[in-house]
Structure 1
Amino acid sequence: MVSALGAVAALSLLTACGGQHGTSGTAPQKLPGTAQPATGDGTSADGSSKDTSGGTTAASTGSSDSGSKSSTGSTGGGTSSRCHTSELRASVGANNPGAGQENFPLVLTNGSGRTCTIDGYPGAAFVDASGKQLGSDPQRSAGSPAKITLAPGRSAWAGLTFSNPEVSGAKTAKPAAILITPPDERDSLKVTWSGGPVPVSGNSSTARLSVFQAGTGA
């Protein structure tokens, strides 16, 4: 059965099969800055700064619509405020490769004692051991953001997709971590990256991000 993440990945026009890599379950580290927001949808960040790891940072912004969905997919109330970085835990799910792509779910879980919402796209950036960003800023895949209500312990995921470097011929680097920024937040979460080399320059080196959906993407 094709997973929800695989359905998102099918939007890209690639032909060959990719390899599999796992990811680390290492606990994320909260950082004072943020990863670059995804670009390419005409939405600009509301400011920029530098994080202490040395990477360029900016606020992650996500567009919203009038609908409100709970983390289980049912219609819910719109009274909860958005989830803040300090209330969330980040992780990267298992790769679901296919059609020349590597596809990873970026998962945010509500670790607070209150219900909050996520709406839009995450920010994301690969970094090396010194905190320097590797590769260009991710772009946003077409999607329809919907407000997801997360009760304590519930999760939402956004798809991270990039071309398999062995297929595209792009130059690669092996990140030490990935920074994940919740929508409309400036602080990011750092998760150890164990997903193998990623494309950083050359042909088909741009990563793409999808809007958040309820669940873990598994």
Structure 2
Amino acid sequence: MAYTFPSRHRTAALASAGALAVLGLLSACGNGGDTVSAPQKVPGAAAPATGDATNGDTSPGAPPGTSTPAGDTTAASDGSNGSAPSAHTSGTRAATRGTSASSTRCHTSELRATVGPNDPGAGQENFPVVLTNVSGRTCTVRGYPGAAFVDASGKQLGPDPKRSPGSPSTVTLEPHESAWAGLSFANPQVSEARAATPATLVVTPPDERDPLRVRWTAGPVPVGGNASSVYVTVLRPGTGP
């Protein structure tokens, strides 16, 4: 039986049907809500809030144990309030209370740092580093503060404190309320570590870049040698243990 070639009309019809099928597949991939957009660059979640650069008081002229944020000349060791800085709302970190952490986070300009009295024990020196909300709004702190001892010229003495193991939690501070972190080290006379007497303790609130400065009046601290480590704990509600 001889093979019969398809007619011209039949060949054209088959070609047209194939083309329509290809177009249909392309249309299904490109429409109907399945369009793939270009990748988006997501900013780092831990970046400090923008537009909140404050210049801390670089001189150790604040009253002993009290920080002086920029523009605040009425710092009091009891954490009493001055004027209320404006709130900042930029950033993307999620807060545990269901709102943006950056909109509730306490900024450096809204806090005052103080160092509480020593609570020594078994050759160990233990100081509460207290952050007090001096703004007119409720804000939060979470985690470890930064800390460093510096001399009168601003040179750091010894390495940064190490972080003691702990579970950070969000501490909500209404105006005038405080959170504290422990700062501990072995007494240099007991540990025989190399020691120096700082002029200032520099404290940086969590997730902030601008520091607070507190005059250090508690004597020598270890800066090298055996048992020279200084430790800092997570922030907790209150002003001390």
| TM tier, smaller | 0.5 to 0.7
Distance 1:146 1:26, change over 3 A: closer
Report if aligned partners of 1:65, 1:145 keep a CA contact under 8 Å in 2.
Answer: no
Gaps of 5+ in 1: 1-23, 32-63, 69-76
Q: 1:69-126: per-residue Cα shift (whole Å, max 9, x none)? A: xxxxxxxx44361100000000000000002110000000000000000000000000
Q: Distance in 2 between matches of 1:26 and 1:162?
A: 18
Distance 1:205 1:122, change over 3 A: same
From 126, 132, 135, the equivalent of 1:109 is 132
User: Which residue of 2 is the match for residue 200 of structure 1?
Assistant: 223
1:97 aligned onto 2:120:
yes
User: Which residue of 2 is the match for residue 123 of structure 1?
Assistant: 146
Q: Which has the higher contact order (CA 8 A, sep 6+)?
A: 1
Structure 1 residue 25 displacement after superposition: 3.7
**Bigger share in strand:** 1
User: Which residue of 2 is the match for residue 30 of structure 1?
Assistant: 69
Gaps of 5+ in 2: 1-62, 71-92
- Larger Rg, first or second structure (1 or 2): 2
Distance 1:111 1:78, change over 3 A: farther
Task: Indicate the SS of the match to 1:133.
Answer: coil
Among the aligned pairs, what percent are the same residue?
63
| Paired residues, number | 154
User: Which residue of 1 is the match for residue 185 of structure 2?
Assistant: 162
TM-score by length of 2: 0.61
Structure 1 residue 28 displacement after superposition: 1.3
User: Which residue of 2 is the match for residue 48 of structure 1?
Assistant: none
Distance 1:27 1:142, change over 3 A: closer
Report if aligned partners of 2:146, 2:203 keep a CA contact under 8 Å in 1.
Answer: yes
Distance 1:26 1:97, change over 3 A: closer
**Bigger share in helix:** 2
What code does the residue aligned with 1:203 have? N
Q: Distance in 2 between matches of 1:138 and 1:95?
A: 17
CA RMSD, 1 decimal = 1.9
Report if aligned partners of 2:180, 2:238 keep a CA contact under 8 Å in 1.
Answer: yes
Structure 1 residue 26 displacement after superposition: 5.0
